[in-house]
Amino acid sequence: MKEFFEDIKEIKYEGPKSKNPLAFKFYDKDRMILGKKMSEHLPFAMAWWHNLGANGTDMFGRGTIDKSFGKLDPMEYAKAKVDAGFEFMHKLGIEYFCFHDVDLVVEDKDINVTNKRLDEISDYIYLKMQETGIKCLWGTANMFSNPRYMNGAGSTNDAYVYAFAAAQIKKALDITVKLNGKAYVFWGGREGYETLLNTDVKFELDNIARLMHMAVDYGRSIGFKGDFYIEPKPKEPMKHQYDFDASTAISFLKEYHLDNDFKLNIEANHATLAGHTFNHELRISAINHMLGSIDANQGDYLLGWDTDEFPSDVYEATMCMYEVIKAGGLTGGFNFDAKCRRPSNTFKDMFEAYILGMDTFALGLINAEKIISDGRIDDFVKEKYSSFTNTELGKLILDDKMDLKSLSDFALNMKEMATPISGKQEYLLAIINQILFGMKNE
Ligand code: XLS
Ligand code: NI
Ligand code: NI
């Protein structure tokens, strides 16, 4: 079969000293870390939309790279994308992919035509998966691009639009199940509002939950055993998006009794748009048993939108991997919801971008393991709460043996308390620097 990236061979691990741009410096898939292979800690996934679709078009200009793969006919184009995608994943050793329905085929005006195309292309993908062992991480329906969703999908004011959203979800679920996807994602692209003057928030939230319940019932009825995910994002495209951040999404899921079927897909760039750190969102998800999967990318702190850059910030990747390891790993994976910058307009740039992202997370993993085995951070946190765990009073509180009056009596008896213990932030940050930069990453 014709290769789309014929100048590029399989990408190998060559180690930190290699100067070969088309080699991994840190991602060494079989290297054992904390009893697991690197590839098991880091189930990487390719995002169909960015990698095979995004051509550099922005608000101010046309595309800078041709991703038509030489085809005009819709089905030939869809198949060429599949071939290119599988060649790309194989050459990088990426085991998973993620997709929206409309990433796989061009949408027709008639949804029945689109669905036929989806049946055909998913058969084709299924065969490719058998041949290569590459798997589906998650599928989703794009319910934000088509103008019919201008007032939302689950949150629309229009019952007919709501029916179309249901139709798209049903089909996307059918395909996700056919391709044995681990999960199904809801990212609420248009589920939000611009002004309360035209919006009934309670009505919209009830309807989003209703649609999600229908999706769960249908998914389970066709044998879908995986998780459903909400991918929180605070804004863009809508000014107010309902799934603002992890805490908001979790309370929505609990309020509507969806928490047994749903977890969260946390995207780094969405966390920072919400005014949080990436690791904050991971921690909040993990302590609520809702850390499902990660959209691995990064934003730009100078820009207020979802720039979807490939992750290069090792510090942030380290903090992410620290949270992931502490949470016992992901049931999902690391989907590079990221695209090359517009002037990086060659196929080689796409490979280099993935190498950057994979090496960044490999470094994050290596560093996180060092932080954990070093133990000073854990020891400090343990010590910080020791007045609860190591004193008579603390134990009484934790055992729920105290009430407000008995605690008050205790305090009045003490009269005055000793100086509180230091939070030692500077000491802890210095430890991280020492681990990141003072010890070899080999
Ligand atoms: C957009 C989202 C989107 C989801 C899938 O900001 O990140 O790409 O991951 O619909
Ligand atoms: Ni995303
Ligand atoms: Ni995003």
pLDDT at 18: 98
Give the confidence band of 418 by pLDDT, cuts at 50, 70, 90: confident
- CB 295 near ligand 1, within 6 Å: yes
pLDDT tens-digit profile of 230-246? 999 999 999 999 999 99
**For the CA of 270, the nearest ligand:** 3
Give the confidence band of 439 by pLDDT, cuts at 50, 70, 90: low
Question: How far apart, in whole angstroms, are the C-alpha atoms of residue 6 and residue 311?
Answer: 26
C-alpha dihedral, 232 to 235 to 239 to 243, nearest 10°: 10
> Token pair 């740039």 is at which residue?
349
Rounded average pLDDT over 136-140 = 99
50 DSSP assignment? I
Q: Is the model's pLDDT at 332 over the cut of 90?
A: yes
Sign of the alpha-carbon torsion through 203, 209, 210, 211: positive
Catalytic sites, residue numbers: 100, 103
C-alpha dihedral, 317 to 320 to 321 to 327, nearest 10°: -170
Q: Is the model's pLDDT at 120 over the cut of 90?
A: yes
pLDDT at 440: 61
pLDDT at 419: 84
Mutate to test the pocket of ligand 1, among 144, 230, 231, 243 (most ligand atoms within 8 A of CB): 231
Q: What is the pTM of this model?
A: 0.97
Region of 204 (left: φ > 0; alpha: ψ -120 to 50; beta: rest) is alpha
- The number of angstroms, rounded, from the C-alpha of 186 to the middle of its chain's C-alpha atoms is 12
Question: How far apart, in whole angstroms, are the C-alpha atoms of residue 311 and residue 43?
Answer: 15
The closest of 25, 69, 95 to 347, measured between CA atoms, is 69
**For the CA of 188, the nearest ligand:** 1
Q: Is the model's pLDDT at 95 over the cut of 80?
A: yes
pLDDT tens-digit profile of 333-375? 999 999 999 999 999 999 999 999 999 999 999 999 999 999 9
Q: Where are the beta strands (DSSP E) in 5-134?
A: 12-13, 23-24, 32-33, 36-37, 44-47, 96-100
Question: How far apart, in whole angstroms, are the C-alpha atoms of residue 64 and residue 372?
Answer: 44
360 phi, psi to nearest 5 deg:
-60, -45
- The number of angstroms, rounded, from the C-alpha of 382 to the middle of its chain's C-alpha atoms is 30
State in Å: Cα 231 to ligand 3 middle.
Answer: 9
